Amino acid sequence: MPEKEDPKNKKKWYILDGSHVQLLIVLIVAILFYVGLNHFSVVTVRINQFMGVLSPFIVGFAIAYLLNTPMCFFERKVFPNHRFKRGLSILLVYVLAFAVVAILLGLIVPQVVQSVKDLAGNMQGYLTSLDQMVQDLTEKFDLDSDAINDVFGNFQNMISNMTAKAAEALPQLLDVGFAIGSGVISGITALISSIYMLAGKDRLVPQLKKLLYATVSKRRSDWLLGVCGQANRVFVGFINGKIIDSAIIGVLCFILCAIFQIPYPMLVSVTVGVTNVIPFFGPIIGAIPCLFILVIVDPWAALRFFALVIGLQQFDGNILGPKILGDSTGLSAIWVLISIVTCGGLFGFPGMILGVPTFAVLYALVREWVNKRLKAKKIDGNGKPLEEQPQTPPDKE
């Protein structure tokens, strides 16, 4: 008969539990971080190559994300009972999107380019007239002519260089051959991927949920899905609302510029409308270059434009913005300012736009965590004990 194995001599096989897996992940991340710091330039090049490959799909996701809201509206309101409501909604939303792009390229952009060319061509005459006006004011009010001439000379050089570079750059950027040669394949890939994302979102989202529940515990999966849902609501409400708000402000600015006879109304209105997408700082960022241009062209028109921008900013901040955006972020003014400055410094113009909704989601998560911790400690925000709610006895029959 074979001898029985001694349990003490039997080999023990250890299976990694959750804590060991977490420690292993932390160790791997630490090693990768150390290697990345020692080979930072190589890692940066590889990351840029990887992002270059993924950039068409990232752009496609951005397009699909922006068009998802109107597509869902068409599904619910225009084709609610149609058999091919998804396909018809996608077709309609892309037709409208192409129509908007065609209007921008056919009507607005050529006028902006022509305004920049005219401004650059007439810049010397504008500067001569402004110089004469400054000399007249200096003699009339007996001002220090040397200091004023130095400041005005620097201002002239700066404006001349800016307008010359803008006049040279805009036709190249809008040249069809340049656009085709630089990224037609990426553009087509982004467009096709956005269509596939919209058409297959009912299959893609459940697949991602299934993968999440298969790899992460149910409690953490539910929490993560809740965070994603909250982030989606904040981003959709903020981005779509801000685009509509900026478009209305741009149209109002053009109408008012035409009424008050402000030069280059299309250029000024496009600048104000585009920069208005940036929260808090948008009107200021858009008004400063327009004021510089108008001071040269017509100082009195610059004063009228300054009053117009102040009125538009007050109308947008107190009436139009709250009506469209509501309280989509839930942030106070100081947190909006911090998010714009921080994210704008790190990620540039996209960071200034997306920083506010991103910070709003993080703010909501931190607030939820703080409230849970305070509730667990049975204290309020001032450190005082929470008053226990008296239990109401059940009603006697």
Task: List pLDDT tens digits, range 175-219.
Answer: 544 444 445 777 788 888 888 888 888 888 888 888 888 887 888
> What sign has the CA pseudo-torsion 24, 26, 27, 31?
positive
Residue 264 has pLDDT above 70, yes or no: yes
Range list of H helices, 142-281 = 145-173, 176-199, 201-215, 218-259, 265-275
What mean pLDDT is predicted for residues 335-345? 78
What mean pLDDT is predicted for residues 320-335? 70
255 or 161, greater pLDDT? 255
Q: For tokens 């290697």, name the residue.
A: 35
107 or 226, greater pLDDT? 226
Q: What is the pTM of this model?
A: 0.68
Q: Which helix (H) or strand (E) holds 61?
A: helix 40-73
13 band by pLDDT with thresholds 50, 70 and 90: very low
Given this model, what pLDDT does residue 176 score?
A: 44
> Which range has highest mean pLDDT (91-100, 107-116, 216-225)?
91-100
Lookup: tokens for 163? 């307008």
Of the chain, the percentage scoring pLDDT greater than 70 comes to 72
Q: Which helix (H) or strand (E) holds 59?
A: helix 40-73
32 or 310, greater pLDDT? 310
Evaluate whether 358 touches 336 at the Cβ level (below 8 Å): no
Residue 162 has pLDDT above 70, yes or no: no
- Give Dmax over CA atoms of the chain in angstroms: 124
145 band by pLDDT with thresholds 50, 70 and 90: low
Could you tell me which residues are beta bridge partners of residue 385?
Answer: 379
95 band by pLDDT with thresholds 50, 70 and 90: very high
Task: End-to-end CA distance of the chain: give it in Å, rounded.
Answer: 77
What mean pLDDT is predicted for residues 247-268? 88
Q: Is 164 helix (H, G, I), strand (E, B) or coil?
A: helix
381 band by pLDDT with thresholds 50, 70 and 90: low
Q: How far is residue 337's CA from residue 281's CA, in Å, rounded to a whole number?
A: 8
Q: For tokens 């280059």, name the residue.
A: 264
Q: How far is residue 250's CA from residue 312's CA, in Å, rounded to a whole number?
A: 10
Distance of CA 41 to the CA centre of its chain: 28
Q: For tokens 């200021």, name the residue.
A: 284
Q: How far is residue 73's CA from residue 102's CA, in Å, rounded to a whole number?
A: 23
